[in-house]
Chain A
Amino acid sequence: MVVSEAKEIMRISWGPQHPMSGQFRFILETDGENVYEIIPDFGFTHRGIEKILEYRTFVQGIVPFERLAMVDAANVGLAYVRAIEDAAGIEVPKRAQYIRTILCEISRINSHLYAIGLAAEAAGGYPAIFLWTTADRELFLDLAEMLTGARWSYAFFIPGGVRADIPEGFKERALKVLSYFEKRLIAYRDSWLENEIWLTRSRGVGRLSAEDAIKLGAAGPSLRGSGVELDMRKEEKYEAYEELNFKVAVQKEGDCQARFMVRFLEMIESTKIIRQALENLPPGPFKKPVPPKLPKGEGFARVETARGEMDVHVILDGSDKPYRVKVCAPSFRNLYVISKLPKLTKILVADVPVVIWSFDPWYLDADR
């Protein structure tokens, strides 16, 4: 349907059934090449998680909550669990904090590998890196399965600690996987990061300045790609991140290449974190018994998921089910930034997949 005869702008619907859009619909107003407007159409995968949680006890609630951003299940599950612990004032034993950090970083590497594979494939053709990342994710899925029993939806964190201790043989296996993964990262860098045609496709495309990123509310790698250093692991110092030293990956240009590079560097940091956490894993209990009914209270947790900062606001009313759970999802804000991007920089139709996948939105996270 033509929007304005003068500039012959036509309105193309991008998704939800589109090779590169995932299960989300963008409406593009374009004249064939230049894109003037990207309108995200929310609600296609809305499941009403916030209502479902009011009908489930705390431990049961973690299972649907993780399905908000399933590819990064550990960090998302951690947000809900920390919100409950913050509301009820539960202290988590040291060893549980370290095990949580290890699983969170494994899940972060999983999610970033997934994002890097798709970002590379969004630029066109079928580059090998798209399948290398899938092949290398298998090792981390096996690691998570060894620790928790499931490859994707771990449901491993419960208020007061974790559900099981680290099995023996996990540490050696993890260290071997990490050293193999670091060699693979070198192969990624050689074959893709300096790839001439990828650089021409992604450098300077979808540029987001620092104050725009802050004003519009970008989250996670999209924010750090524009030079704003905000990482919840350093701000909130939750779990074991206080004792482990790691750098926050920040890039200044703010274009697709910078966001891609931030995810790449964050994977390197994650391997360091897992190594340190495995080396000085404290002894002691991995779980503290928590009564099913938690006292009245209000809790707020902010966790750095792979897609950005997820904030969960939980209100308890003394029963064994939460009274209200409010989730501020990072992908919701990233999608909002994508919709404002055509006003900030020039975007062509061929750039739309590269730009969208450089923000790595997870649509179920945005639709809640």
Chain B
Amino acid sequence: MSEEEVIKAISENFGELVVESKVLRPKKVSITVKPEGLVSIATFLRDSLGFDHPLGAGAIDYPAENKIQMVYYIWSMNRRMLIMLRADTPRDNPRLPTLSSVWDQMNLHEREAWEMFGIVFEGHPRLEHLLLPEDWEEGVYPLRKDYKLPER
């Protein structure tokens, strides 16, 4: 099943939920999804399309378009293909459903995205600080563009 078939399979089952899907590089597919369909598409990817090996997840802050994009990198072991599952949320009140039920490892990546970008993940078992110290003051999200690094 090459890249196009994966995109076709997803668009058939979740037509309207998929905002945009394109083939970045040979064997690398990028799919942007509405937040509501995130969990269903993720379970579909894992169970029927065989994307079982999670690599990581991170967020990107676009203050110009007032959105934060969360990207999940998943690798399929038998298809030898990588998929980047993306979901956009508004910048002022970022909320996303958690994928830790689908891929267990996303639990840690979502905690990091929460403390660095402020994305609140509904249903996340334990939203706590992962990398930052416990006494990091609330509301300050270091990886956002408006947090300026003190220039030496």
Asked if the two chains touch in their complex, CB atoms less than 8 Å apart, one says yes
| Residues of chain B from 30 to 73 with CB closer than 8 A to chain A in the complex | 52-56, 58, 60-61, 71, 73
Measured between C-beta atoms, what is the minimum distance from B97 to chain A in Å? 20
Give the residues in chain A near B73, CB-CB below 8 Å.
Answer: 311, 313, 328
Bound state CA distance, A50 and B24, in angstroms? 23
- With an 8 A cutoff between CB atoms, is A304 at the interface? no
- With an 8 A cutoff between CB atoms, is A114 at the interface? no
Establish whether residues B105 and A333, one from each chain, have CB atoms under 8 Å apart when the complex forms. Answer: yes
Establish whether residues A52 and B149, one from each chain, have CB atoms under 8 Å apart when the complex forms. Answer: yes
Residue among A43, A214, A216, A368 making CB contact with B77, cutoff 8 Å: A214
Establish whether residues B129 and A217, one from each chain, have CB atoms under 8 Å apart when the complex forms. Answer: no
Contact with A along B107-135 (1 / 0, CB 8 A): 01000000000000000000001111100
Give the residues in chain A near B52, CB-CB below 8 Å.
Answer: 214-215
Give the residues in chain A near B103, CB-CB below 8 Å.
Answer: 217
Establish whether residues B24 and A42, one from each chain, have CB atoms under 8 Å apart when the complex forms. Answer: no
Measured between C-beta atoms, what is the minimum distance from A339 to chain B in Å? 9
Establish whether residues A333 and B133, one from each chain, have CB atoms under 8 Å apart when the complex forms. Answer: no
Establish whether residues A215 and B55, one from each chain, have CB atoms under 8 Å apart when the complex forms. Answer: no
Interface residue tally for chain B (C-beta within 8 Å): 32
Contact with B along A295-338 (1 / 0, CB 8 A): 00010101000000101010100000000101011001100100
Known contacts A51-B149, A300-B24: does B132 contact A217 (CB below 8 Å)?
no
Establish whether residues A313 and B55, one from each chain, have CB atoms under 8 Å apart when the complex forms. Answer: no
- With an 8 A cutoff between CB atoms, is B80 at the interface? yes
- With an 8 A cutoff between CB atoms, is A132 at the interface? no
- With an 8 A cutoff between CB atoms, is A86 at the interface? yes
Give the residues in chain B near A50, CB-CB below 8 Å.
Answer: 143
Bound state CA distance, A329 and B129, in angstroms? 18
The 7 closest A-B pairs by CB, nearest first: A328-B56, A326-B58, A43-B131, A46-B131, A217-B54, A217-B105, A328-B55
Q: Which residues of B contact A (CB under 8 A)?
A: 24-25, 27-28, 52-56, 58, 60-61, 71, 73, 77, 80, 82, 84, 103-105, 108, 129-133, 142-143, 147, 149, 151
List 16 A-B residue pairs with CB atoms under 8 Å apart, sorted by A's residue number: A43-B130, A43-B133, A51-B142, A52-B149, A54-B149, A214-B53, A216-B104, A216-B105, A217-B53, A300-B25, A324-B61, A326-B60, A329-B56, A333-B105, A340-B104, A367-B131
